[in-house]
Amino acid sequence: MRMNSRRSIQVMILVLVTVLSVNLSTWAAELVILHTNDVHGRLVSHTPQNAENEIGGLVRLATLVEGVRETYGNKVLLLDAGDAIHGTNIVNLFSGRSSIEVMNAMGYDALTLGNHDFNYGQEVLLERMADARFPFLAANVTDTSGTLLTYSALVQEVDGLRVGIIGVVDEETPILTHPKNVEGLVFHDPIEMASSLAKKLRPEVDVLIALTHIGYLNDVKLAETAPEFDVIVGGHSHTTLEDAVDVGGVLIVQSHEYANNLGFLRLVVEDKKIVEYERNLIPVTHTVPQSEKVQAIVDKWDALLQERLSQVVGNSDISWDGERANVRTRETNLGNLVADVMRDAVDADIALTNGGGIRASIASGDVTVGDIYTVLPFDNTLALIQLRGMDILDALEHSVRLLPEQNGGFLQVSGLSFEVDPNGFVGGRVLNVKVNGEALGMNKLYTVATNDFLAAGGDGYDVLKNGTLLADTGIMLRDVMVDYFLQAEKVSEPEAGRIIISD
């Protein structure tokens, strides 16, 4: 379901006719919009921290969709507002194929691209578009010649109503995925593009929907700018909107994340106007039965996942030290390797990663995908920031402040070396910092590879928030490590002596 990349056009609208058109000027019609956003590959349910029961997951949300369709029949549209096909092992290790198969089985009508839907690169994204039995929308994404990446809009007749759907994605996507994933693409102002297209499409439809991945605050701006829309189904900000937010007559809805809720919006439409609406967020709790159809698909991919985790990706003559007491108090060869791989992946000056994110060692011999996933079990992703030398020094001081006690925030590093006096006063323990052999410049700007947890101030690293985000790749650190082992003919022990701790 993708447009021919050889055709250079400004608007590509997919028209799906499901029933005959009727004159709606004298009678009311009903439309039910079911919606999800920021599912991030959650095909199965999950248990939030400190919760007793599992929630969410498409395997249960599908049961709710089936129930609504039994009640409302062909009046139902099922939409997704982006970031659907990347995020968990059962999805990532198969480049989103499992997500698309589940969404096909659930009967989705359209998806707007989210920034993390680009995480596999353009070639794979085009393959997923071809696999899908529903269109991907992105009115504001073109190549440099102006050719759209995919459809800008969908027009579909639903139980006699002619419904238009325009999709847009965040303009900052080039820094919210790995830059190589969007090379040659231009992300235009989503509000400007959606507003322009809305003016053209409004006369042709009875209901006009913006399917957006630009965040709630930008959805509000879009509603203020483009009153031609009836509804904005949003994503990206992971916002929970229990009721629809009415902005100048435009209804904004969003359903949080991870398929934790099914968004429900019932419209009564008369003469191209919404005369009545009903809004609910339907929680996906552990009491919702799993869909047998979706569970069968999940079981198939889970079996393949277990095979994938046992895949040998490399061999090592040495063992790699990821023991808790060591990665939290000093450099280790595994900590150095993880930091080196991060730094190399984004071509940064240095890399900083918290030792608490390394949870196991790797024995000598064959190394499997599962071994690496055990070492890096958290859903941390690779980020690139720009930071001044003075902030890097502050981060190093924060790293060693608790020595000799263990500290999950103790940093494993690449591209720099420094000395530590553990008996010095806190804030004055770090000495002789060098970046690639040269003294750290306090006002000099450096590119720093890190993980999204630290970049957001995790483990008390508020100083890292002083940096400028250059790229939040969305790629899991564990997947970066797997790729490294697969590509390396032999994994050698990195150079040591990066953190010298005096007695």
Tokens of 59: 């395997």
Using the predicted structure, report yes or no on whether residue 213 has a pLDDT greater than 90. yes
**HEC per residue, 386-416:** EEEHHHHHHHHHHHHCCCCCCCCCCEEEECE
Using the predicted structure, report yes or no on whether residue 360 has a pLDDT greater than 70. yes
Using the predicted structure, report yes or no on whether residue 245 has a pLDDT greater than 80. yes
Among residues 318, 334, 315, the alpha carbon closest in space to that of 496 is found at 334
The predicted-structure confidence for 254-287, as pLDDT tens digits, reads as follows: 999 999 999 999 999 999 999 999 999 999 999 9
| Beta carbons within 10 angstroms of residue 419's beta carbon | 14
pLDDT confidence of residue 5: 36
pLDDT confidence of residue 15: 74
pLDDT confidence of residue 51: 87
**Which residue, chain included where needed, has tokens 């059962």?**
90
pLDDT confidence of residue 160: 93
Tokens of 423: 């008996």
Please tell me the distance from the alpha carbon of residue 215 to that of residue 203, in angstroms, as a whole number: 27
Please, are residues 401 and 343 in contact by the beta-carbon 8 Å criterion?
no
pLDDT confidence of residue 260: 97
pLDDT confidence of residue 88: 87
The predicted-structure confidence for 406-434, as pLDDT tens digits, reads as follows: 999 999 999 999 999 999 999 999 999 99
0.85 exceeded by the pTM?
A: no
Q: What is the DSSP letter of 358?
A: -
pLDDT confidence of residue 277: 97
Using the predicted structure, report yes or no on whether residue 18 has a pLDDT greater than 70. no
Using the predicted structure, report yes or no on whether residue 228 has a pLDDT greater than 70. yes
**HEC per residue, 141-206:** EEECCCCECCECEEEEEECCEEEEEEEEECCCHHHHCCHHHHCCEEECCHHHHHHHHHHHHHHHCC
Please, are residues 6 and 226 in contact by the beta-carbon 8 Å criterion?
no
Using the predicted structure, report yes or no on whether residue 26 has a pLDDT greater than 70. no
| Beta carbons within 10 angstroms of residue 485's beta carbon | 21
Please tell me the distance from the alpha carbon of residue 301 to that of residue 97, in angstroms, as a whole number: 9
Mean pLDDT, the chain, whole residue set: 92
How does residue 6 score in pLDDT terms, banded at 50, 70 and 90? Answer: very low
The predicted-structure confidence for 53-102, as pLDDT tens digits, reads as follows: 999 999 999 999 999 999 999 999 999 999 999 988 899 889 999 999 99
pLDDT confidence of residue 11: 67
**HEC per residue, 311-334:** CEEEEECCCECCCHHHHCCCCCHH
Using the predicted structure, report yes or no on whether residue 8 has a pLDDT greater than 60. no
Distances (CA, A) of 413 to 210, 364, 388, 433, 499: 44, 23, 16, 12, 8
pLDDT confidence of residue 377: 81
Mean pLDDT, rounded, for 170-176: 89
**Which residue, chain included where needed, has tokens 């999204």?**
452
Using the predicted structure, report yes or no on whether residue 25 has a pLDDT greater than 50. no
Using the predicted structure, report yes or no on whether residue 22 has a pLDDT greater than 50. no
pLDDT confidence of residue 24: 39
